[in-house]
Amino acid sequence: MFGKRLLQRSVMAAAVVVGLAATSEAVLAQGEPVKIGELNSYGRFAAFAVPYRNGMQLAQDEINAKGGVLKGRKMEIVFRDDGSTPGDAVRVAEELLTREKVAFLAGTFLSNVGLAVADFANQKKTLFLATEPLTDAITMAQGNKYTYRVRPSTFMQTKMLVEAVKAKGIKKWAIVAPNYEYGQSAAANFKKLIKIATPDAEIVGEQFPALGKIDAGATVAALENMKPQGIFNVLFGADLTVFVREGNTRGLFEKRTVASLLTGEPEYILPLGEETPQGWIVTGYPWEEIADPAHKAFVAAYRAKYNDTPRLGSLLGYVVGYMMKDLLDKAGSTDTDKLLAALNDLKVNTIAGPVTMRALDHQSTLGAWVGETTIKDKKGTMKNWKYEDGAKYVFPEAEVKAARKQ
């Protein structure tokens, strides 16, 4: 009799445990949000990072309004400032994992910061979706199993510009770039690619001012003394503004071809206003002229929510938001191994066009718009632009295999 009662109690206890587990799973599916840790340079580079955050929040709101992710769970992006230094960024990434219990990490702006977080993610065996840092190293020489990149790399965007200028046959080039990982990487790519496009081209000189501390007068004077036929510019933000102003004043850009990374992005061309040099060949984002219905719907929603026009950061944040949803839905879980498996050759439809996350090097095929600078309604913008599919500009397979060590 005692044995029978013990058996009955054991069965009832097991039933309670199963019931609690089922209830827990139901609560998890419907209530507990999926947290994603996003760290970026919101203080130092607010011109890009704040619109980027706005675009991502817009995507998050739309996704949650339509049912969320993983069968009804809300997507909750936890935003933090990365301090714009490798040390601060690693500390913030650690806090996001240990305190906020995020499923994975995303973001960063500066290339050196992105590399530091990529190394941290590799050590912690957690996914890092590098959204903005452009250095080739993040998917090539220092690439690792846990790091994937969204934006077209320095190599990809530089190759787009070289393709756009090669018909001009410029033989004497000067380079000006910020003196840190991104600028150095862009300069190295240009020197390699321009020789392929124009075998008799030569680099007659280089200038590498400190990021955010350019002496525009001295830099412009040095470039002028080099007597180049073309200038490859990698400066952005406040450095770009003072460089353009000084260059305009001294006539540096007159009768010279200028190929300029990122200058056509609203973040950097709008501050130039009527000082915008005309005819520079640039990568950028002519948002007001893109007629695709999905893109126009994004612009309308963004303007309605923020009472502002989108920047390139806005577009990127929005694209990343939906990419994270597609990733989670394909993985069916927040388990790191399942997320990594889902990311390899993940195909997503974005408002910029179809994008694939290459398993080979963890680089997405998101492209960029290439065109010429011009002034319209006293504002800098782009003309004669074309969207270049990133798939045409990624590193060849042999180079990837030779560069990646992990």
Query: Each residue of 376-389: pLDDT tens digit?
Result: 999 999 999 999 99
Query: Each residue of 144-186: pLDDT tens digit?
Result: 999 999 999 999 999 999 999 999 999 999 999 999 989 999 9
- Rounded to an integer, what distance in angstroms lies between the CA atom of residue 48 and that of residue 208? 22
CB-count exposure of residue 93 (10 Å: 0-12, 13-18, 19+)? buried
Handedness of CA 405, 150, 128, 179 (dihedral sign): positive
Question: Any idea of the CA torsion for 237, 204, 170, 269, to the nearest 10 degrees?
Answer: 10
- Determine the pLDDT at residue 406: 52
Domain boundaries, the chain: 30-152+291-367, 155-289+370-392
- Determine the pLDDT at residue 133: 94
What class has domain 155-289+370-392?
alpha beta
30 — pLDDT class (breaks 50, 70, 90): low
- Determine the pLDDT at residue 74: 98
**For residues 35 and 103, is the Cβ–Cβ distance under 8 A?**
yes
Mean pLDDT of the chain: 92
- Determine the pLDDT at residue 31: 72
What class has domain 30-152+291-367?
alpha beta
The DSSP string of 100-159 is S--S-EEE--SHHHHHHHHHHHHHHT--EEE-S---GGGTTTT--TTEEE-SPPHHHHHH
260 — pLDDT class (breaks 50, 70, 90): very high
17 — pLDDT class (breaks 50, 70, 90): very low
- Determine the pLDDT at residue 216: 96
- Rounded to an integer, what distance in angstroms lies between the CA atom of residue 25 and that of residue 31? 10
- Rounded to an integer, what distance in angstroms lies between the CA atom of residue 82 and that of residue 71? 31
**For residues 70 and 333, is the Cβ–Cβ distance under 8 A?**
yes
Query: Each residue of 323-378: pLDDT tens digit?
Result: 999 999 999 999 999 999 999 999 999 999 999 999 999 999 999 999 999 999 99
